[in-house]
Structure 1
Amino acid sequence: MEIQKSFQEKNDQGKFYVVPTPIGNLEDITYRAIHILKTVDLIAAEDTRQTQKLLNHFSITTPLLSYHDHNKELKGEQLIGKMLSGQSIAIVSDAGMPVISDPGYELVRQCTEENIDIVVLPGANAALCALVGSGLPSDQFYFYGFLPRKKSKIQETLEELKKQRATLLFYESPHRIKETVKQIQTIFGDDRSIVLARELTKKYEEFVRGTVKEVSDWLRSTDSVIKGEYCIVVEGSQKVEKDNAWWEDMSVSEHVDYYVNVKKLSSKDAIKQTAKDRTVPKREVYAIYHKT
C-alpha cells in the first residue's frame, strides 16, 4: 500500500509531471503547464521536433529527451535514475494527454514502483472533446482508442463491443477512416448514431453526425480530401439482451410460480412481471398460466 502526498516536498528526489499539450489550438495550453515545462529539469517528448515547436512558441528553453515506444525501456531507466537523484521531469506527447493512446504508461508504472510522486495536470484530450460535442450520451462511455490494423482483428474487436451499452470512442487516421466506418456498419448495422470529429480546436474543425449508413455513404461519396486524425463516437447498443437470463430454463408457468412463491407477488403481478421479463404480451402469459 502507498499513499502519495503530491505536494509534500521530498528533498532527496524529484517529481514526475504528466503535462497535456494542445491538440491543435496553442491557446489551449494552461498557465500551469507552461510554468511546469519551464521549471522542470528535463522534458521527455514523444517527438522532440514537434515538441520543440511548442517550446519555441512559449519561449521555453528546458532540455528535451526523446521518449517513445521504441526506446522506452532504455530511456525509462535513465529517467527514473534522474528523478531518484533529485531531478524533476515532465512528459509530453505530440498533442493531448500523455499515456492516453500515447507513450507514458510504463514510465508512470515505474514511478509508482519507486515511490516517485506523479503529478498529472488537466488539459486537452481529443476523445473527450469529441464526446461532449457529439450529442450522444456521455453519462457512460467506453474509450477504445485505435482499432487493430488487420481486418479480421477489427471485426473480432467490434463483435466484442457490439453489445456494449456505453457510448464508444475510437481514434482513427484519415487514410483508414472509410474502411473503419464500413466495418462498423457491417458489424453494428445501419441505424446506430455515429459522429466523426476531426481537426478539433483548429480552424477547420468539423463534426459529421448521422446514422452509420449515412456517414458511411458520405465518406464514400465525398470528393473532399480527408485530412486530420479522426475521433469516432458511436452510440452504444440499445437492445435489451435476453441471453443467459436467469429464467431461461423455466417454463412460463414456472416463471410465474417463482414470483408467486418466492417473491410473494399476487398472481396478477407475477404474470405482469413475467411478461415484462420475456417481452411478450401479458395476455399470452395469462393464457398459458391459467391453462396449466
Structure 2
Amino acid sequence: MLATLTAVTALAWPGVPARAAETELSIRSISLRPAEPVVRATGAVKLVIDVVARGAHGVRGVTVLVEPGRPPAGATNLTGVNPDLTPAETSIEPAVPPAVPPAVPPAVPPVVPAVPPVAPAVPAAPAVPEVKPAAAELTATAVRPPVGFHRFRLAAEGWQTWRFNPAVGLTRWYPSGVWTIAATATDQAGNEVKAYTTFHLRRETVLEGVAVSERKKVRVSGTLMRLDPYGLLGRRPFRKRKEVLIRFRGTGGEWQTVASARTRRDGSFDQRVKPAGEGVYRVEFPATSRYAADVSPERRPRRN
C-alpha cells in the first residue's frame, strides 16, 4: 500500500515552455511503503520513500532524514498524527531498558537508488542504554515518476520523483510510535525547502487460542500477546488491555461489536455474551500508536 500525501499545485500542458512557477523549488509529496510498518520478533521492515519535488539540482538534489519523534514546531507537515493515540501508551512502554539492554540498533543505512547517489553521512551509534537509532541523511537521484502521476502531467510541471531504498530495514530494536521523514530539496544556487511527514512504527500483536463455545450464553476466550518491548523474549502477554472487541456476523449480515473484554495479567480474556443467533464470531484488537492491530480467525460456537 502506498500512502501518498499531496500538496496543492497548479497543472500545465505538455509542450508549454517552463514558467517560473514550474521551476520553483518545492516539494509536492512524500510517500512511504509500507504505509504502516510493523516490526516482529525476527526480520526487518524495508522502507521505500518517494519524494516528488521540482527545482532540485546540484550535488545534493533531494535528501531525506528518517528519525523517531515528531516534526519540529511550526514545520511544514504534509500529514498529521492522531494525538489521541499517544497518551494511552505511556503506561505500557518501559521507562528505561532492562538491566541487560538489547544490542544497539544499527544506524539507518545508506540507500541504493537507480543511479549511485552522493555518499551519505555516517551517523554515530546511539548511546547505551537509551537504545535509540541514529538517523542518517539519505540521498538519491531522480527516477521516472510512477505511472499514476502521468495523468497529472507532472513532467510538464518539472516534477521529479526521488526514490530512497535503505538497504537495511527497521527492526524491533528501534523505538515504536511516531517517526518523522524530513525531506530537503536543494537547487543549484544552494537554496533549500523542507517538508515533513509522519508515520507510526508499530510492534506486532497476536491473538492466540481464540475459542467460542455456547451453553446458555456464548463464551469467547483467548490470549493477547505482544512483541516483547524489552527484547528478552519473542512475545510477552499483553496485560490490562480493555480494547479487545468481540465481533459477530450473522448469515448474510455485517460485522458488529457485541461486547468488549479486558485482558488479565497473563494476557488471557474470557467474556460471556448473549447469543445473537446463527453466525460466526471473531476477536479484534485495534491498533494503538505503538502496537499493530490483529484479528482472530472466524469461529462458530461449539455447543456444549
Q: Which has the higher strand share?
A: 2
- Measured against the shorter chain, the TM-score band is under 0.3
Q: TM-score scaled by structure 2?
A: 0.21
Whichever of the two has the greater Rg, that structure is 1
Q: Which has the higher contact order (CA 8 A, sep 6+)?
A: 2
